[in-house]
Amino acid sequence: DGGITQSPKYLFRKEGQNVTLSCEQNLNHDAMYWYRQDPGQGLRLIYYSQIVNDFQKGDIAEGYSVSREKKESFPLTVTSAQKNPTAFYLCASSIRQGGTYGYTFGSGTRLTVV
């Protein structure tokens, strides 16, 4: 079955560490996105990518970095510059731009700073 796989499900980060969250899709979708979800808040866009080797900053990109070397993969690195990284991170993809066809989300990675 097609879908989005995020790993790991839970991740613990020490202060000053960089960590990378994996996102892989086999839906043949062009567009991919990373969102952050905090309690009581909606989903906030971190980065998005329309095609391979191209990505754009979203609303809260500071302290994060991404790459899009393959259509199927869109990993997110949470750097030490992100001062409050504890959150639920969701990766999504869509067949084409806009919301018409909906986003398919992965099951998320819960990141905790220890």
Residues that bind other proteins (CB under 8 A): 31, 33, 35, 40-45, 48, 50, 56, 58-59, 90, 97-108
Q: Do residues 33 and 57 make contact, with C-beta atoms less than 8 angstroms apart?
A: no
The bridge status of strand 10-13 relative to strand 109-113 is parallel
CB of 15 to other proteins, least distance (A): 26
Which lies closer to other proteins via its Cβ, residue 58 or residue 63?
58
Which lies closer to other proteins via its Cβ, residue 18 or residue 86?
86
Nearest 5°: CA angle at 57, between 54 and 61? 135
CB of 47 to other proteins, least distance (A): 9
CB of 12 to other proteins, least distance (A): 17
Q: Is the peptide bond before 8 cis (omega within 30 degrees of 0)?
A: yes
Tally the residues of the chain: 114
